[in-house]
Amino acid sequence: MARNDAARAGVWYRFWAVWPGTMPRGVRMALRVVLAVAGLAAFAADFVPAVQGNMRNSEADALVLRDGRVLLAWTEFTGDGRSDWSGARLSARISSDQGESWGERFILQNNIGAMNVMEPDLLRLKSGKVLFLFCRKNSPADCAPMARLSRDDAKTFSAPVAMAITPSPSYTAFNHDRAIQLRGGRVLMPMFFTSDYRVDPHIRSRVYYSDDEGVSWRPGETVLDLPQSKAGAQEPGVIELRDGRVMLWVRTDLGRIYRAYSRDKGLTFSALEPMAGLESPLSPQSIKRHPKRGDLILVWNNSPKTRTPLSTAVSRDEGIHWERVKVLDETPEATFAYTSIEWLRDRALLSYYAGTNGGWSLRVRLLPLNWFYQ
């Protein structure tokens, strides 16, 4: 049934990618009701398709503004390069109708690196300020996490400031849509690093924390590693559990997702262990808490080797077991990865890249909140 759902949604993909921006709002809303009744309320569109001169659009994050509009930022590669070392800047668009149509793109962060800037991360702090993190890349031996802060709801940001990292310089980076603020106010940013990716591609991970809304950062005490893995412990993510612990997960080349736990707000972590019952390739995973039901929602590639299909699962016991596996996107000739998840008023907004030989397009999915349980 899950695969049929994905295929059925795909029937509407090209239609919805072309027409909603030209429809009056009332018509769009009426169409949504009709499609919801028919069970077709999950829509997809290539938010920014790959074209000559812009062959890759990927790694996005969304932020709900105070007036209800949605800001979506992504890594926009400039030129025909599509590797992590190619030129890129951070661009953005704004939606005034919960993601159904989008305004013109604008530059959120110019390229201030010798190579690029990547991985936008937009976090609404409890104070109402917006923390904007990204990676500035000069070389495979010099990638620096950068921080900016907005006090006016993302209209303007402070100048970029390099976050204190160790070792420095090094290739220290993070994934988009990863920063979280704990219930007590501490901000956690999981990062991965190596001294020089060309010399040592074995990656280790560490969580950095800030107790002053991102003004200053300290490294956690635990360096997370998988010595038995050629790739190491890569692209970590974190989420706060109901009991106050922090669960961390990493991508690996071992065919599994590995996780660890912290009982001291991210200062130290247990040893990494495989997450039971789930296969995963060398590809990142995303986990967020469902805003209505409180369960954990996982988006990942449900495969031991390839980045397809892109799937979802639900955990009712804080990540111990996963159920209700569904296919989010699946095309034999494409790969899908690097998801962001944002909860809107009555739906989920997901973004991820859809990659083919013709380039990497940034795809956006709008899903009813109950879609993960159907």
Residue among 49, 105, 43, 42 at smallest CA distance from 73:
105
Residue for token pair 């006090």? 151
Could you tell me where the beta strands, DSSP code E, fall in 26-87? 43-48, 57-64, 70-77
> Taking residues 20-40, what's their average pLDDT?
49
Cα-atom radius of gyration of the chain, to the nearest Å? 19
User: Is the pLDDT confidence value at 205 over 60?
Assistant: yes
Mean pLDDT for 243-255 is 98
pLDDT at 347 over 60: yes
Q: What percent of the chain has pLDDT over 90?
A: 86
- pLDDT reported for residue 332: 83
* Long-range contact set of residues 188-191: C-beta below 8 Å, sequence gap at least 24: 188/238, 188/246, 188/265, 188/266, 189/121, 189/133, 189/145, 189/163, 189/217, 190/236, 190/237, 190/238, 190/248, 191/145, 191/165, 191/236
Residue 358 is part of a domain; what is its CATH number?
2.120.10.10
Assign 211 a pLDDT band (cuts: 50, 70, 90).
Answer: very high
What is the number of structural domains in the chain? 1
pLDDT tens per residue across span 268-282 = 999 999 999 999 999
State which residues form the domain around 30.
Answer: 2-373
**pTM: predicted TM-score of the whole model, two decimal places:** 0.90
What is the C-alpha end-to-end distance of the chain, expressed in Å? 10
Average confidence score pLDDT of the chain: 91
- How many helices (H) and strands (E) the chain has is answered by 2, 25
Contact in structure between 210 and 186 (CB atoms under 8 Å) = yes
Q: Is the peptide bond before 227 cis (omega within 30 degrees of 0)?
A: no
**CB neighbourhood size of 317 (10 A):** 10
The confidence score (pLDDT) of residue 31 equals 53
The 10s digit of each residue's pLDDT in 136-190 is 999 999 999 999 999 999 999 999 999 999 999 999 999 999 999 999 999 999 9
The tokens describing 358, both together, are 């013709």
